[in-house]
Chains A and B, each alone.
Chain A
Amino acid sequence: MAPDAALLVAVANGDASAARVLIERLAPRLLSHATRVLSDRAEAEDVVQETLVRLWKVAPEWRQGEAKVSTWCFRVLVNLCTDKLRARKPTVDIDAIAEPAADLQSVVEQMTDTARRDALNGALATLPERQRHAVVLRHIEERSNPEIAEIMDIGVEAVESLVARGKRALGAALRGKRAELGYDDDQ
């Protein structure tokens, strides 16, 4: 299987079939992340589309070995998601929301008949933006902390802190809902 970077070189040389392979590899993961973070499929598709257009444009100047193609794409995607979220709430600094546990609890309280996926997505949606990115990248996309640091342009310690705080907030929100969600004390 050709590495992503080799396919990108082929794209730069005008090979559209290489672009299709990259789309099949990258788009589902990018769309999954964007959908979880934005909680809006249409907006998620828009940011994935823009991310890939930027990838094709940067292909001729791509420097081999400087960054992984998927890492670069996630970095662009995270920034575009941030733009979308801030456009929704232009007067609110999302990162300044100190303690989301109470809101999480209320969200989960209202989800009497929701599926596990919806409970998680609903809880994730109330996390501060950067915690949400970090938790999804770490625990759903299964990216390493150094890679998340590169994607989010922060230090590894900051990633660890964001993930820990995000998990703690999710856990607090979902505590007491384990039985409702299908996880009881015996598990």
Chain B
Amino acid sequence: MMMTNDAKDDLALEALFEGARSDALGLSPDFMARLEADADAVISKQTTPMAVTTTISLWARIAAAMVPLAGLAAATLAGVWIGFHVPSSDFADGLAFGDSADFDVSAFLPAVALSGFSDLEVDG
């Protein structure tokens, strides 16, 4: 049976491809040396900045750790300051209103809401 032109083309091409696949290009020693030198240069450059980065990140971590400590120190100082500055008697009296006579809750409620609670009283 006669082959079509396309089939013949495919056959010829496949044979050419097959030959090309087995025709591996070798690396010359010079080219190999260039590639290795590049790799060494890039690797050494990348490892040196890595050490600097580590140092920087260590200081950054220390600084970050100081932030909550600073907050704690401020809170402590504030507590000490309050402890040494005794409040005046007027200030204490102003807070102590509950031990006196009765008072009407309605004084603290809006006028419209008073209809159902007009008799409500709270004993001190």
Contact = CB atoms under 8 A, between A and B. Distances in A.
B39 A23 contact: yes
A29 to B, nearest CB: 8
Interface in B7-48: 8-17, 19-21, 23-27, 31-32, 34-36, 38-40, 42-44, 46-47
Size category of the binding interface on chain B:
35 or more
A32 interface: yes
Contacts of B20: 36, 117, 120, 140
B43 A116 contact: no
B6 interface: yes
A185 B8 CA distance: 7
A60 B46 contact: yes
Contact of A171 (B6, B35, B43): B6
A117 B5 CA distance: 21
Contacts of A183: 8, 11-12, 15
B5 A28 contact: no
A57 B42 contact: yes
A36 B43 CA distance: 30
The list of the 4 closest CB pairs from A to B, nearest first, reads: A171-B9, A19-B39, A56-B42, A139-B17
Interface of B: 3, 5-6, 8-17, 19-21, 23-27, 31-32, 34-36, 38-40, 42-44, 46-47, 50
Interface of A: 11-12, 14-16, 19-20, 23, 27-28, 31-32, 35-36, 45, 48-49, 52-53, 56-57, 59-60, 116-117, 119-120, 139-140, 142, 167, 170-172, 174-175, 178, 181, 183, 185, 187
